Amino acid sequence: MITRMKELAAKLNAASRAYYQENREIMSDLEYDKLYDEFSQLEKSTGIQLAGSPTRKVGYEIVSGLSKATHDTPMLSLDKTKDPQALVAFLEEQHGLLSWKLDGLTIVLKYNNGELQQALTRGNGNIGEDVTHNARVFVNIPLTVPYKGQFTLRGEAVISIADFESINEQEEVKYKNPRNLCSGAVRQLNSETASKRHVHFYAFSTNAPFGDKKSERLEWIVSQGFDIADFEKVTAENVVEVVEKFKSLIPTAPLMTDGLVLTYDDIPYSESLGTTSKFPKDSLAFKWADELAETTLLSIEWNTSRTGLVNPVAIFEPVDIEGSQVSRASLHNVSILRGLGLRLGDRISVYKANMIIPQVAENLSLRDEENTSTPPVEIPANCPVCNSETEITGDPEVLYCTSPTCDAQKLRALSHFVSRDALNIGGLSEQTLEKLIQHNIIVDFTDLFRLQEYENEIQQMEGFGRRSYEKLIQSIETAKDIPLPNFIYALGIRHVGLSNAKLLCTHFKHDAIKIVEACKDDNHLEILSEIKGYGDAISHSLHAYFSQEKNYATFTQALAILRIIIPEIPAEGLPLDGFTFVITGDVSQFKNRKELQSFIETNGGRTTGSVTAKTSFLINNDSLSASSKNKKAAQLEIPILTEDDFLARFFPK
C-alpha cells in the first residue's frame, strides 16, 4: 500500500504542477479525481501522510534563524577502510548488513504520538541545528505515521544526481556535487527553497523497540512509510562478493554514494560492544578507492550556460576509468582552473568522484616543474557564443557573459523577466517560454505583449487550449501595471538587483527618460556615483546595457506598452534618503528581515549584507550580542539600533 501511495502522490503532484504552473493538462479531471480518491482512502487506512501529499495544502515556513538542540545520544563518525578484507575480519562469525553510504547530510527525526516533532542536523555530533521547517517539505518524509509511541530515526538527506544536474543547469551559482547542494538546501531559513530542491530522506536506523535485529527494524521503518537505502545481509563468506555487486551498480545509481556501511545485524551484540572516543564499534565504513589515471591536457573548452556563466571544461586524451572511457571533466570555475595552474600539454591525473563524476585531481607537470615555459590557459575576454565582453566576479571566481541578450541566455533572461519580483506574469514557466521561443513567437521580451497575434498557434501548442491561453493573456495584461524599479530589475542588467533598481529610480524621481540619458552619457561614472552605494561596476553595467541600440529600442518600446506606476514622493523627500542599513538577528515588528528590508528601500534607504565604513546603522534587536556584525559596528563606531529605536528615530508617531 505504501508503494502505491508514493506512486499516486507522484502522479497527482505532476498533474497539479502541469495544470497550475505550466498551463497544460497531462490527465483528465475524471482520472485525477479517481486517483485522488484512491490516494485519500489509502491515507486514512494506513494512518500515513507524506510530506508531498496531494491532500495537504502546503504552506512554506520562514524562520529567522536556526536554533540548536542537543542530541539524545552522540552522533559518532564511522571508522573507515578501503580494504575489502577488513570487512571479512570485522564480521568473523557475525551476520551483518551491508548498505549504501549515501553522500548527503545526516538528519535525526523525532516522532511523538504519530507526528513529526523535530528534525536536527548532525552538527558537531552532540549539538545539531533544528531544521524541522525544512524536513516538513522533504519529498518523502511522512508527517504522520501509524505508530503513536515516541521514537527517533537517523538517516541521510540527499538530492538525486538527476535533480542536481537539472538545478545546476538552471541556477547562477554552480554546486560542485549533490551533497553541497543538499546541505545548503536543508539549512535554508525559508522552507520554500528546500521544497524546490526535491530533498529526499533515507533512514538507516531507529530506536523504536521492534525486534532484536537491525534488519527487522529496517522492515518496521518501511512499514511506517519511510524509504531506506538498499541493503543486503552478509557474512564473512560472501561480503567481498556483495561489495563487488554494489560496485557494479554505481554507474546507474540515482543517488551519490561515497562507499558502503557494514554493521552487525544483532542489536544486543552491537550494544555490548560500546564505542571508542570517536567511533561506534558495531559499524565500519568501506570507502571506494579512487582510480587515478594520467593523461595529457589538450584544450580548455568554454561553455556559456543559460545563466550567463561561462564554464571551463578540460579536454584531455581519452583514458579508461572505472570501466568507461573519459576525455573531458568540468573545472567548475576560474578559481579551480587557476589553482591547478593548467597549461596546454600538461600531464594531469584524473579520477571519478564517487566513481561517477570526472574530475581533474592534480597538475603533474606543475608538481614536477615541467612545461613551465608554456603560458597558463588564457581566460577568454569574450563570450564564445555572442562575443560580448566577459567579466570575472565573486569568490570563488566565476566568469560571466555580460550581455543579457546572448542567445545562450535568452531563455533564462525571459524567465527572469516574468518572475515574481519582475513582471510577475503567471503561467509562463521555462517550459512554456521554451515552446514559444521554438515556435518563433518570442524573440525578445516585447514580444510577450503581442501574443494575441498568435492566438491560434498558441492554442494548438502541446499543453495549451482556450482556457490556458486566456489565463495567460489576462496575466500579461495585469502585469502591465508595474513600478519602474521592478521593470528595470526585470531587464536582467548585471549587478542591478531590485534594491539597486529602487535606488536608481528614487534618485531620478522615477523618470525613465532621465535614467536612460544618465546611463548612456559618456560621463555616466560621475553622474551615477552621486547615488549612494553605486560604484563603477554597477554604473558600467547600466552604461553597457543602454548603450546598445537594440536594448535601448526594446526598453522604449516596452515603456510605450506598460503602465508605469509612479509613487507619490513627499516634497521634503523620503525619510531614509542617504542612509545605508545592515539588518541582522531576529525581527519582531516585521514578518521577517526581507519585509524590513523592503520597508527601508521603499522609504529611500539602502540595505547591504555586511557592515563597512559606509554603513549608517546596524539594526539588531540584540544590541548587546557578541556577534561579528555587532563587533564590526562597534569597531567602526556605527550606531546599533533595535527595531524600536529605528522606528522611533525615523518614523515617530
CA R_g for the chain: 28
Contacts of 334 (CB under 8 A, 6+ apart): 312, 379, 392, 396, 397, 398, 399
Q: How many residues does the chain have?
A: 653
Q: For residue 554, what is its C-alpha cell?
A: 526594446
Contact 443, 426 (CB under 8 A): no
For 510, how many CA atoms within 13 A lie in the half-sphere containing its CB? 15
Cα four-point dihedral sign 588, 593, 598, 604 = positive
Alpha helices in 402-548 (DSSP H): 410-417, 430-438, 455-459, 466-479, 484-490, 498-507, 512-520, 524-528, 536-546
Give CA–CA dist 408/447, Å, rounded.
18
Burial of 252 from C-beta contacts in 10 A (0-12 / 13-18 / 19+): exposed
**Packing angle, helices 512-520 and 536-546, rounded to 10:** 100
Give CA–CA dist 506/533, Å, rounded.
13
Which member of 11, 101, 174, 502 is catalytic?
101
Burial of 395 from C-beta contacts in 10 A (0-12 / 13-18 / 19+): exposed
E strand or H helix at 548, and its extent?
Answer: none
Contact 200, 139 (CB under 8 A): yes
Task: Pick the closest to residue 445 from 514, 394, 495, 492 (CA basis).
Answer: 492
Instruction: Tell whether omega for the bond before 396 is within 30 degrees of 0, i.e. cis.
Output: yes
Give CA–CA dist 621/642, Å, rounded.
4
Q: What is the DSSP letter of 588?
A: S
Contacts of 46 (CB under 8 A, 6+ apart): 1, 2, 5, 146, 225
176 labelled catalytic: no
E strand or H helix at 196, and its extent?
Answer: helix 191-196
Contact 152, 204 (CB under 8 A): no
Q: Which residues are catalytic?
A: 101
